[in-house]
Structure 1
Amino acid sequence: MGTGFSSLALLEINGSSSTNGYPSPMSKPTGLGDLPENCVSSILNHMDPPEICKLAMLSRAFHNASSADFIWESKLPPNYKFLVEKILHFTPPNSYMPKKDIYTKLCQPNHFDGGTKEVWLEKSSGKMCLSISSKALRITGIDDRRYWNHIPTEESRFKTVAYLQQIWWVEVLGELDFEFPPGNYSVFFRLQLGKSSRRFGRRVCNLDQVHGWDIKPARFQLSTSNGQKSSSECYLNEPGNWVQYHVGDFVVDSPHNMAMKIKFSMVQIDCTHTKGGLCLDSVLICPK
């Protein structure tokens, strides 16, 4: 009895209505395209965005189901409404944008605050990253061309970096008011000793003005509006390469407390010697 039932069930799944062991001439085999769209949506809801996009090419049912709002809303970070209004300048509920389109747009590099900051989502995870240009930082002496200059470069996502020729007192301060999705975050200064350029199609780095960074370490500090603090010291000693120097970490532990003000700094204020030859690109905030 069990065997007969299994055989009959198999024939029905394969689209057969015959009971003699052979498919009916009027039947046709079923496939993924015959799954109900709501069933497909439930399956896709448990997958990562890249997997959803791949499966959307399997059939019309998968393609239609892959655009369901409830799927993509589950992939968006909890602060996505804040990002939609601040970054995409889109104000629901007065107008409508599909959640899939919101996810796609937020995965692109999105500039704000006059192009001095940039935010994006990691495509595979939906986690948020943020970068702050040197032009959005308070740099001691930045208005005096004897010390600092903003120079163009293709090695920065902001197309320009702050270059230090020589100074006694190095102080870089920054702050940011933003909504961060719950999670652990790390803050980095992206720096390079030396001025890079291209010569005959090859990257070269001029180290002539690099000096003073091996005598005393640079000090990095981080604090948040809810009382988190961290600090570290590090010698800048990798000339010719862009390096992300770790400032510290902070935690956002609740979707109800995502708004946070963070302050960060880099200083080397030992006035017994000058420092120079430093490129300051940006500050990076990313999931730890």
Structure 2
Amino acid sequence: MEFEDLAEGCIAEILSHTTPMDACKLSLVSRGFCSAAESDSVWSAFLLNLTSIIPPSSFPSSTSKKALYFNLCNHPTIIDQGKRSVQLDKKTGKQCYMLSARNLDIICGDAVHHWEWTSLPESRFEVVAVLRAVCWFDISGKISTLALSSNTHYAVFLVFKMMNASGFHYHPTVISVGISGGNTNTKYVCLDLNLKDNRLSELQCPKVRSDGWLEIEMGEFLNSGTEEGQVEMKVMETTSHIQKCGFILEGIELRPKHLICETSS
């Protein structure tokens, strides 16, 4: 018996143990493969890890599992009472998260003369944090490794905007990423594209995302998924004592290392 002569259900079972990219490629083999690759049983397997995060009752019953999968790839879903979003990597089905500004620890974040919480139409979250004036710039966040896809190399990005910003172009900002109890990667970056100090010109600078926000890579880590830990992320500039303003924080995003958000220079 040829592989293509297997029953559609058998082919679907085999495809469910591959990746979304493999299933799409194999659908071109024959009509039988195409029919199996379109089946809900295949795409339900690729959605399995999301059922504990997004209630199945929130999914439209009339939508095919394949259509639902690509919808979750192309559109972030807001979870945890609006504090973070989850999205799928189209190629692998692995999970991408963004922690909103409300899900992060911001020093003086509740002091109205230092930070303002407001809504922006271009943000996926209900509110963002707008820096009014601080000298002590300190933002940190955590997420459990168990919430992330296992055996996955993740990159972490600070997502923000600058609007009439000042105070960031004279002194580097320190950013770090690490798993609790392990090594922490720390580096110096420049958050403001309008450099005033040539000494900062050699530092990593933000890039423009396709959604209009800026992002800068904070670091990366390998999530083995074998035991629970905390991914700890920090953004800090507390040594210059220069007053800073005009920074708009949407959040911190974690996505599989190969997944690059389209940017422009």
Higher relative contact order (CA 8 A, sep 6+): 2
Post-superposition Cα deviations, 1:188-223, rounded to whole Å, max 9, x if no partner, equal: 1112211xxxxxxxxxxxx2xx21111111111122
Judging changes above 3 Å, is the alpha-carbon distance between structure 1 residues 178 and 61 closer, same or farther for their aligned structure 2 residues? closer
Deviation at 1:109, TM superposition (A): 2.7
| 1:58-90 deviations in Å (ceiling 9; x for gaps) | 868843664263x446645xxx44x42233378
Match among 177, 190, 193 for residue 238 of structure 1: 193
Residue 63 (structure 1) aligned to one of 21, 35, 38: 35
Tell me what 2:200 maps to.
Answer: none
Residues 101 and 217 (structure 1), Cα distance of their counterparts in 2 relative to 1, 3 Å cut: same
Aligned Cα RMSD in Å? 3.4
Structure 1 residues 43 and 178, CA gap change in structure 2 (3 angstroms): closer
Query: CA offset at residue 250 of structure 1?
Result: 0.8
State the distance in 2 between where 1:61 and 1:120 align: 27
Aligned match for 2:124, one of 157, 174, 178 = 157
Q: Are 2:168 and 1:213 aligned? A: yes
Structure with bigger gyration radius: 1
Partner of 1:266: 235
Q: 1:117 to 1:53 in 2, by over 3 A?
A: same
Residue in structure 2 matching 1:222, options 177, 184, 193? 177
User: In 2 relative to 1, CA 105–226 (structure 1 residues): closer, same or farther, beyond 3 Å?
Assistant: farther
Structure 2: distance between partners of 1:149 and 1:177:
28
**Alignment correspondent of 1:110:** 77
**Aligned residue number for residue 174 of structure 1:** 141
Which residue is 1:132 aligned to?
A: 99
CA contact (8 A) 2:8 2:35 kept: no
Q: What is the total number of aligned residue pairs between the two structures?
A: 227
The normalised TM-score by structure 2 is 0.71
**How do residues 185-200 of structure 1 correspond to structure 2 at under 5 angstroms?**
185-194=154-163
Q: 1:106 to 1:166 in 2, by over 3 A?
A: same
Sequence identity (%): 26
Q: Which runs of 5+ in 2 are unaligned?
A: 58-63, 195-205, 258-265
What residue in structure 2 maps to residue 256 of structure 1?
A: 226
SS at match of 2:158: strand
SS of match in other structure, 1:135: helix
In structure 1, distance between residues paired with 2:121 and 2:22: 33
User: 1:128 deviation in Å?
Assistant: 1.5
How much does 1:278 deviate? 0.7
**Is contact 1:36-1:61 (8 Å) kept?**
no
CA distance in 2, matches of 1:184, 1:61: 31
1:284 to 253, 256, 261: 253
Q: Which amino acid aligns with 1:189?
A: L
Deviation larger for 244-253 or 274-283: 244-253
2-side partners of 1:190 and 1:220: how far apart? 13
2:136–2:241 contact (8 Å) kept in structure 1: no
How far did residue 273 of structure 1 move? Answer: 1.7
Tell me, in whole angstroms, the C-alpha distance in 2 between the residues paired with 1:223 and 1:36.
Answer: 47
